[in-house]
Amino acid sequence: MTERRFVLVDFRYTNDVMGHVRFYEAGNTHDMPRALDHAAAKRELVAIERPIDWEPPSILRSPEVLTESELTEAEAELKLLQRHAFEIVHPEPR
């Protein structure tokens, strides 16, 4: 499942074991996997839509880098949130 997000700041991450780098450019809207969206949102690199007062970052600013560990952590958090939501909707009988 993917999420469509507006990129606030240039960032990149390595998206597979082969080491391919995926680059997300500020000012564009991209579809991205939920874990990547979650990790990028935690670092305030993306938004649901373009903020009214958004200005492009300086061209001298280096792209942010999301690490594999941040993606792994985001995936674990999303699974925990999903499990918690499921428990609220379908509580275990006691």
Total domains in the chain come to: 1
In a domain, 94, yes or no: no
Could you tell me the residue range of the domain that residue 24 belongs to?
A: 2-89
Residues 6 or more apart from 5 whose CB is under 8 A from it?
Answer: 29, 30, 32, 37, 40, 41, 46, 47, 48
Query: What is the model's pLDDT at position 41?
Result: 93
pLDDT digits (tens, 9 = 90+) for 50-75: 999 999 998 898 999 998 888 889 99
Quick count: other Cβ atoms within 10 Å of Cβ 16? 8
Q: Does 48 map to a domain?
A: yes
User: Within a domain: residue 65?
Assistant: yes
Asked whether residue 63 is assigned to any structural domain, the reply reads yes
Residue 69 lies in a domain: yes
Task: Report if residue 59 sits inside a domain.
Answer: yes
Q: Is residue 25 part of a domain?
A: yes
Give the tokens for residue 36.
């990547």
19 or 68, greater pLDDT: 68
